[in-house]
Structure 1
Amino acid sequence: MSTTNLIDGPLPKAIPAALLPPSGNGVVHSHFSVKGDAGQSFRNWQERMGPVYDVQPPSARAMDTFHASVTRHSIEQLSLLEIHTGANLAVRSLARVSTESIDDISFSLFLEGRPAQYLGGRSGKASAPPDAAPAVLALDMAQACTIHSFDSRMLLLFAPRKSVEKFIPDASSLHGRWLRAEQPLLRLLCDHLLAVRRDISVLSAKKMQADLDTALQILVTAYGRQAGLDGNGQAAVRAAVYAQVRRHVQSRLHDPMLSPESVLESLHLSRASVYRIFQEDGGIAAYIRNQRLRAAARQLMVNPRIDILPLAFNLGFNDASTFSRAFRMAFDITPRDLRKTALEQPFNLYGKSRFSTHDEINMLAT
């Protein structure tokens, strides 16, 4: 028999954070859980996670025996979720992220069970996940992804992009990247967040805010070290150069003359230094191409009647076939198929053309 436990309201209702009853310490708190068989638990979980992810069963058996729970604590722009879940696939499609305004960065700290498999924006290609917990997976909620979760327990921190980019020049570069157990700061992060979760019912709102800010600083420091953006004045210079190049590229995506060479010449930078800074992005040429492809996806979703050939030319591609191949390689869908999706579904499944980040996070456990 399937059972559903919902503290803050009936399942179909999504209550804005401002209307949720705060806990005694002023922190917004909610809990939702499912347990049972015959697939009802999984369907309830699909509906609950629907505002953020399209959740799919990895097998019929997994659907029949599914169990999960999520507990959320939110303060200001930060949310900490504790999630226990059975096996599932969580998908944010290109069509979906192109029409929503969610742009938080999420950090999933896997504590028990097998860490999830990050499949990128395409269902067939996996990055190598860590062998065991603890491990952290960063995701840019503005980018497409597919996550294969197993029976596991995790703590999930949602942070605003602007908070992350105080330390990491381009937060989108974190998408799909892991912190593994052997990295020194990971144990510190585990101890810190577990203490926050244990004491959260007695923490003041001010103390919780400070503790979550500390957790975020540990995370961005660890990822910064991984990308070579940590340490001294040299790291600050690297961060400034990254931001300078990013601004230059974003303002010239439709310029047919935009190229690695034009960037280096315009900004008076050395090829070797820029290559090192953009190494995690596959190099400056790959960065430019990926930003152009993301811009194309957004334009196709916003204006699906646009002709693909002029769009490709305007974004620096020499012909439609080259553009289509690159687009499919990046997103596992062709431009024509994405345009067809946009024409058939001009609004998302929840009756809105756009959500805000915190509207969607609030729906997870309300």
Structure 2
Amino acid sequence: MPNHPIWPGHPAPDAERVTFSYFDVAGEPFHQQLLAWRGRVGHVMDVLPLRDQLAQPFRGAIARYDAGGIAFTDCVTDTLQIERTIARISRDSVRSFAFHIFLSGGTGILSGRRARRTDAAVADGILGLDMDQPVRMIRHACRVITLFVSGQVLEDLLVDPATIHGRAIGADVPIARLIIERCAALAGRIRRMPAAEAGFHLRAIVRLLAEAYGRQAGLLGNARAVERAQMYGQVLRHIRHHLHEAELSPDSVLDALGLARPSVYRLFQHEGGLARYIQRLRLRLAAHELVAFPQIPVKDIAYACGFKTPSDFSRAFRRAYEMTPQELRMPAAPV
């Protein structure tokens, strides 16, 4: 058995062990190592080689465990530039949420929730990603635990799981430190566990993650947080029901629900405001329909998704995704 820090111990008996796989580029010629890694993770994220990186050795190893409907990966890599584009999202079936728990190292430049948005580095902390939203980041040399969780699971724990996208929780936050410690401990034991026990521990960590992000958004905790969560859910339901209507706007939401503007603004401040949140949902819907229904003219999709004019739609689409709606439909678009 390879002597590697992310391949611990001996497995449980075959009948009850977790599903396990392991991959390491160490056996590849050094000039093929990054390409081998790109081939391994390419079904989820695109790896964009940095300058002269293909000519250098690359360290990359990943162990994956599946139990209780949750995937748990333990990964060690050198610096990587990775992205998930709207073109890939519109063509693949990956729709889970990913929580990156950094045991060492972290991310540098991160763009995600809105065009050209950059967050501070995440070092020894937690980063949340919605795999249904674009992201690009430089991830420095690190060891990172990642939990892939379905939307169905998270929707029972968070009012709007999509809001975790691109949001970081520093290791100085007590609940984040607890999560990091539990993940590090589980990484050393999970392969020896029966599947039921591993699933129990993974679900417990997911509940902690949901609590951490809920607290960060002010939607968990005291009675005021519960009231905010109820208001947030009320606004979300109204938006989703009326998303196709061009008349939907922050003002129409406030008028229909009788809510105070300052209260709603604070709820969606982390999204850049309610108007930006509505537009993001419309753009995600439009991107899906552009690919799913190539025979429908772009202008018709724009109107169906609530945009007042095709030109408004095209400008917003290009700002958000750095391509035009027509380019998304091109067969040569990256996937």
Normalised by the size of structure 1, how large is the TM-score?
0.81
Higher relative contact order by CA 8 Å / sep ≥ 6: 1 or 2? 1
Find the residue that maps to 2:22 and give its secondary structure.
strand
1:207 shift after superposition: 2.1
Q: Do the aligned partners of residues 117 and 331 (structure 1) sit closer, same or farther apart at CA in structure 2, a change above 3 Å counting?
A: same
Q: Which of 131, 136, 141 is residue 151 of structure 1 equivalent to?
A: 141
Match of 1:265 in 2: 255
Distance (whole Å) between structure 2 residues aligned to residue 125 and residue 272 of structure 1:
24
Match of 1:58 in 2: 50
Structure 2 residue 210 is the aligned partner of structure 1 residue 186:
no
Structure 2 contact 220–229 (Cα < 8 Å) conserved: no
Residues 89-145 of structure 1, C-alpha deviations (whole Å, 9 max, x = no match): 222110111122322110001111243532227896532223xx3111100011111
Match of 1:68 in 2: 60
Match of 1:30 in 2: 21
Match of 1:288 in 2: 278
More off after superposition, 146-155 vs 111-120? 111-120
Structure 2 residue 157 is the aligned partner of structure 1 residue 167:
yes
The AA in structure 2 aligned to 1:86 is: D
Structure 2 contact 102–125 (Cα < 8 Å) conserved: yes
1:185 shift after superposition: 1.2
Show the 5 A alignment for 1:1-366. 23=14, 25-35=16-26, 36-61=28-53, 63-120=55-112, 126-130=118-122, 133-339=123-329, 341=330, 343-344=331-332
Find the residue that maps to 1:251 and give its secondary structure.
helix
Distance (whole Å) between structure 1 residues aligned to residue 108 and residue 203 of structure 2:
25
Structure 2 contact 106–124 (Cα < 8 Å) conserved: no
What is the number of residues matched between the two proteins? Answer: 324
Find the residue that maps to 1:280 and give its secondary structure.
helix
1:82 shift after superposition: 0.4
Structure 1 contact 57–63 (Cα < 8 Å) conserved: no
Distance (whole Å) between structure 2 residues aligned to residue 325 and residue 205 of structure 1:
49
Structure 1 contact 103–160 (Cα < 8 Å) conserved: yes
Distance (whole Å) between structure 2 residues aligned to residue 319 and residue 109 of structure 1:
42
Structure 1 contact 37–64 (Cα < 8 Å) conserved: no
Distance (whole Å) between structure 1 residues aligned to residue 210 and residue 152 of structure 2:
12
The AA in structure 2 aligned to 1:59 is: R
Structure 2 contact 113–165 (Cα < 8 Å) conserved: no
Runs of 4+ in 1 over 6 A off after TM superposition: none
Long gaps (5+) in structure 1 = 6-20, 350-366
- Identity of aligned pairs, percent? 35
Structure 1 contact 116–147 (Cα < 8 Å) conserved: yes
Structure 1 contact 82–155 (Cα < 8 Å) conserved: yes
Residues 143-199 of structure 1, C-alpha deviations (whole Å, 9 max, x = no match): 111121221111111111122222221111110110112212121112111111112
1:229 shift after superposition: 0.9
Find the residue that maps to 1:236 and give its secondary structure.
helix
Find the residue that maps to 2:25 and give its secondary structure.
strand
Find the residue that maps to 1:209 and give its secondary structure.
helix
Match of 2:7 in 1: none
Distance (whole Å) between structure 2 residues aligned to residue 245 and residue 164 of structure 1:
19
Structure 1 contact 30–73 (Cα < 8 Å) conserved: yes
1:274 shift after superposition: 1.7
Find the residue that maps to 2:280 and give its secondary structure.
helix
Distance (whole Å) between structure 2 residues aligned to residue 298 and residue 134 of structure 1:
35
Match of 1:355 in 2: none
Structure 1 contact 108–138 (Cα < 8 Å) conserved: yes
Long gaps (5+) in structure 2 = 5-11
Structure 1 contact 122–145 (Cα < 8 Å) conserved: no
Match of 1:11 in 2: none
